[in-house]
Amino acid sequence: MSRATATVTRFVFLTDTHYHPQAPQDFGAPKMLTRASEVLAATAPAINAVAPDFIVHGGDLLCGGGSFELSPKHYEQSLRDVSQAFSRFSAPTYYVPGNHDCDAVEYSFIAFAETFRTPEILDVVEVAPRLRLALANLFHGDYHGSGEWTEELDAALRAADVSARDTGAGLLLVMHSWVMPNFVADGESPDAGCVRGAERLRATLEECRAVVAVFTGHRHANRIRLLGDLIVVDTACLIGYPFGFRELTIDVKGWMDCHFHQLELPDLMQASYQRSDELWNDRWRGEEGDRNSRVLLPRLHRLWR
């Protein structure tokens, strides 16, 4: 069987683009918010060159919320600018909200959801034969910095799992915040950077056997980990070092090829790199296996076998 006929789907995952049209400063490393327009202009051409079947954005398209001094006028401009730029994607594109996609006054996601179609709670979309996206909105209730895995989300994922198992389909869960911790600084909670209710979510994922992989952003680091027999794929931000997105290919046997593409912005890459020490740059970039690897999705392999 040739590689072309063995491929079920090829898609792109990008996250944390953090566009700000008039950033007064770059704020925390590795972000380069003052040069967000350059990153935005480079994004669609780079992703279209991969020719994916579909595209998924993991949230934080914007710089809303209380961290980046984004005025209501500039929030509205952000929505227009990013919508126009991403309309140039050549493949169907799916979005989940991040904590910085709300406005900076009311912390409302209404305008964002009207501009970029996002799930009210959990949307399930069939993207390939026996393969579905489960797109989770972690901010459908009260606002929390990392979002919350609510009872409503838990029930919706369990229902999607039953439906998927009945047809032998795999679910790719997409959400903004981390499921499992890492890089916990002194004094931080063991679940720092994770969604609120992460412990309950991890228990649910153990039971929902049709969920074959989870994709997140939020903490701006490349990481591929096993949670039992579940693959968890965390992805670095696009607005700072290492300035990239993932190309992922899934084949008929349940193998997934991951390749991390960096934008061709060498001077911007160097400027962002110089804002941090080598340890933090290594964390954001991830090890070679966190960027480029071929991994078996054990649950998908069993479902499809």
| Residue pLDDT, tens place only, 185-203 | 677 777 878 999 999 999 9
Helix axes 151-167, 198-207, angle to 10 degrees: 20
Note the pLDDT tens digit of each residue in 60-112: 999 999 889 999 999 999 999 999 999 999 999 999 999 999 999 999 999 99
Residue 2, pLDDT score: 41
Please check the confidence at residue 17 and state whether its pLDDT lies above 50.
yes
Please check the confidence at residue 6 and state whether its pLDDT lies above 90.
no
Residue 193, pLDDT score: 80
Lowest mean pLDDT among 17-31, 75-89, 133-147, 276-290: 133-147
pTM of the model: 0.96
**Encoded tokens for 165:** 């198992």
Please check the confidence at residue 3 and state whether its pLDDT lies above 80.
no
- Mean pLDDT, the chain, rounded, equals 95
**Encoded tokens for 117:** 């179609």
Please check the confidence at residue 39 and state whether its pLDDT lies above 60.
yes
Of 272, 286, 283, whose CA–CA distance to 29 is shortest?
272
Q: Where are the alpha helices (DSSP H) in the chain?
A: 3-6, 36-48, 72-86, 110-115, 151-167, 198-207, 266-273, 278-285, 288-291, 298-304
Of 180, 161, 173, whose CA–CA distance to 303 is shortest?
161
Please check the confidence at residue 7 and state whether its pLDDT lies above 80.
yes
The residue whose two tokens read 């962002």 is 272
Of 9, 109, 120, whose CA–CA distance to 56 is shortest?
9
Note the pLDDT tens digit of each residue in 196-232: 999 999 999 999 999 999 999 999 999 999 999 999 9
- pLDDT band at residue 181, thresholds of 50, 70 and 90? confident
Which percentage of the chain shows pLDDT scores above 70? 97
